[in-house]
Amino acid sequence: MQSQTAFTHIQILQDKIPYPLQGLAKLAVNYWWNWSSEQLSIFRNIDFEKWEECQQNPVKLLENVSSERLAQLAAEPEYCQQVLNLVTQLEQYLVTKNTWVDKNFPQDQLQKTIAYFSIEYGIARSLPTYSGGLGILAADHLKSASDLGVPIVGVGLLYRQGYFKQQLDSTGWQQEIYLDYQFEELPIELCRDTQGEVLTVTLQIRDRQVKAQIWQVQIGRIHLYLLDTYREDNEQIDRWITGQLYGSGQDTRLAQEYLLGIGGVRALQRLGIEPQLYHLNEGHAAFATLEIARQLMESTATFDEVRPMVRDRCVFTTHTPVPAGHDIFSRDQIAPYFTHYWQQLGLSKEAFLDLGNRHPGKDSWEPFNMTALALKMSRSANGVSQLNGKVCRQMWSCLYPNIPVEDVPIGQITNGVHHRTWTAPLIANLYKHYLHPDWADRVTDTQIWAKVEEIPDDELWGRHQRLQAALIAYTRLQVKEARERRGESSEAIAAAEQLLDPNILTIGFARRFSSYKRGDLITYDPDRARAIFSNFEQPVQMIVAGKAHPADEESKRIVQRLIEWSHHADIRNRLVFIEDYDMHIAQKLVQGVDVWLNTPRRPHEASGTSGQKVAFNGGINCSILDGWWCEAYQEGVNGWAIGDGADTDDTESQDRADAESLYELLETEIIPCYYDRDSAGIPHRWVQMMKASIRTIAPYFNTDRMVADYVNQMYLPKHEVSKRAKVGMH
């Protein structure tokens, strides 16, 4: 049954909003505004303080702003025209038949929907459905699919408390705070049938019947459907299946992945959507393959008969380059969930559990591995960078014992970023003027990016400095508020105003804190690091952000050690940690830092994308040769490589060598280049490297190219994959 989603937010908001501004209601319920030409300004300019209080949630803002303020704006012709122009852009965007897909593919190739499954989506700050890179990548995938006209729908879960809010105590130890989100205040809508009843799906979880309701999020042309079990007709324990992202232990994790995979397929059926293909983003959604098989078996076929049909309809992306990072569940955990299910598939318990076995038919004691299930049940699989593809082929060669490792059927499509979301308006306007008015639609055109060299050095540097000043002002405010919350002294609170210096080389380091990412590598030799940061003539400063998983004690200690190190008298204002890392903080950082530091133990970084965002804003990468940086790095041209790119199992020697390499780069190359200025204060050598970073990285490491690669290599029917269509060439 096709849903009849009633956009009640629009109706409610339009009753409050004066007539000249009623288009704001339409904009508020489609996250397209998040990467439109106006980006945040259309809502921020209504009431900046309230906009921040509402976590940049336009629906909540419009519901809470005063009628007097709206009346004032309705009397401002320029603002009314801005709203009208943006609504016109949105309406044209939604109905255009001139997308990349329209131009390059006949309807019979990409006619039906592609269902994209992910356990998290980082759409915007206001939607609590993400924790880190996997979710940001999934959201950027949907945004570019919308821009290119790829017929995708997203499927995921809606979490009552999202991921945790991070606070540091007076010792620098991470505290996790969980807050309930009010879904009725978010830019989302419950899906309803033609009688107005909320659409639900029912699943048997253990011995209970659990209902999940379906929410819809509009992301440009794309619909994202999110399942939520927080309903009064569910048992209390089942309401909290979708309570927290990555929280509450393994049993809840299993229930979430059961809901995502099996419930997600049923939700699409309930919505009247018949996908031509299912794309599983990581192993969390692998149970979807079993539900597809079960539905195909309703015509009395056997599991063995439908299995090739399931494989032909599923593709799989794996990100995690270490075996311990893949979701596994003990056989005792799996059995209560699937006792009824393997019977419906006509399988014995042993045959069912063997579907998740890394060594089929051999080690019956092995836990159930979600990645193994996804690989066995998908026609195509890929890693997310060239190195990651190689690592994954080695890791999963056990599933393909009769073929050479290099022929293991796992390819690679390197991740990118959604440039419209992550490029600062100040820089985007520069591109529009010097590169091409439609640069964002031609992002993969290397000839356009070659024109970066035509941007005057002082203009690029000046805009970068403005963004850095904004970042530092924001950082000071965040630290001041954190100190006030902890009840620190008035002197310490006032001192927050002196943190950092807009004229000093600024390094950014922000990501999920995990031990392999080595967030404290820069302090490996504390005395040498302190000498670098506190150098009187050419000092360095660093802004750090990131969350450790609540159960990851070692990563919490890394955060704490960084905080302790920053308290040394020589560098008290030189290293600052921003609490509660989220998309908003990420945007500030990638748009404002000089150097982006990335220090994973190679080859544990699947891809990484934060450094790509930095490049679109003129920042320069200094990274281990891991993930995407292996492909992007050009020695002496567009950034710096830490270490020699060799792999070793001796983590201590690798840490020591990489720290030495980092210090050497800072002392002999990075710092001297940054402080080499002309009489006007312009670091021309540095600006040339900024331009090289933009020119060499932007045309390839974007999600327009990435999604086009997925279409050409994964989504098209097998007999069509050789017919490649490039993005951005006109």
Q: How confident is the model at residue 647 (pLDDT cuts 50, 70, 90)?
A: confident
Q: How confident is the model at residue 720 (pLDDT cuts 50, 70, 90)?
A: low
Residues 567-593 pLDDT 10s: 998 888 999 999 999 999 999 999 999
Quote the percentage of the chain above a pLDDT of 70: 96
Residue 511 domain-assigned?
A: yes
Q: Is the pLDDT of residue 381 over 90?
A: yes
Please give the average per-residue pLDDT across 143-172, as a whole number: 96
Weakest-pLDDT range from 197-201, 220-224, 320-324, 435-439:
320-324
Q: Is the pLDDT of residue 363 over 80?
A: no
Residue 400 domain-assigned?
A: no
From 317, 319, 312, select the one nearest 379 (Cα to Cα): 312
Residue 69 domain-assigned?
A: yes
- Check residue 111 and give its pLDDT: 72
Rounded distance between C-alpha atoms, residue 278 and residue 715, angstroms = 9
pTM of the model: 0.96
Q: How confident is the model at residue 298 (pLDDT cuts 50, 70, 90)?
A: confident
Pairing of strands 208-219, 222-228: antiparallel
R_g (Cα) of the chain, nearest Å: 26
Please give the average per-residue pLDDT across 609-629, as a whole number: 97
Weakest-pLDDT range from 73-82, 246-255, 349-358, 437-446:
246-255
Inter-CA distances, 367 with 291, 324, 400, Å: 21, 12, 19
Last residue of a domain, one of 95, 117, 135: 95
Tokens 């999600």 label which residue?
703
Please give the average per-residue pLDDT across 590-597, as a whole number: 98
Q: Is the pLDDT of residue 44 over 70?
A: yes
Please give the average per-residue pLDDT across 41-70, as a whole number: 94
- Name every residue whose Cβ is closer than 8 Å to that of residue 404 and which is 6 or more positions away in sequence: none
- Check residue 320 and give its pLDDT: 82
Handedness of CA 226, 228, 233, 237 (dihedral sign): positive
Q: How confident is the model at residue 482 (pLDDT cuts 50, 70, 90)?
A: very high
Residue 719 domain-assigned?
A: no
Q: Is the pLDDT of residue 724 over 90?
A: no
Residue 244 domain-assigned?
A: no
Residue 256 domain-assigned?
A: no
For the chain, the first-to-last Cα distance in angstroms comes to 40
Residues 535-574 pLDDT 10s: 999 999 999 999 999 999 999 999 999 999 999 988 889 9
Please give the average per-residue pLDDT across 262-276, as a whole number: 97
Residue 158 domain-assigned?
A: no
- Check residue 730 and give its pLDDT: 37
- Check residue 722 and give its pLDDT: 41
Q: What is the mean pLDDT of the chain?
A: 93
Rounded distance between C-alpha atoms, residue 200 and residue 108, angstroms = 31
* Cis amide linkage into residue 603, ω under 30° from 0: yes
Weakest-pLDDT range from 133-147, 439-453, 489-503, 639-653:
639-653
Q: Give me the amino acid identity at 407.
A: D
Last residue of a domain, one of 95, 123, 153: 95
**CATH code of the domain in which 538 resides:** 3.40.50.2000
Structure tokens at 176: 């996790």
Rounded distance between C-alpha atoms, residue 705 and residue 356, angstroms = 33
Number of domains in the chain: 2
- Please say whether the beta carbons of 131 and 245 come within 8 A: yes
- Check residue 470 and give its pLDDT: 97
* Cα angle 538, 543, 548; round to 5: 145
Residue 150 domain-assigned?
A: no
> Could you list the residue range(s) of the whole structural domain that residue 77 is in?
8-95
Please give the average per-residue pLDDT across 397-417, as a whole number: 95
Last residue of a domain, one of 79, 95, 111: 95
- Check residue 1 and give its pLDDT: 44
Rounded distance between C-alpha atoms, residue 504 and residue 496, angstroms = 17
Tokens 């593709």 label which residue?
315
From 584, 589, 581, select the one nearest 125 (Cα to Cα): 584
- Check residue 2 and give its pLDDT: 47
- Check residue 73 and give its pLDDT: 96
Q: Is the pLDDT of residue 7 over 70?
A: no
Residue 109 or residue 526, greater confidence: 526
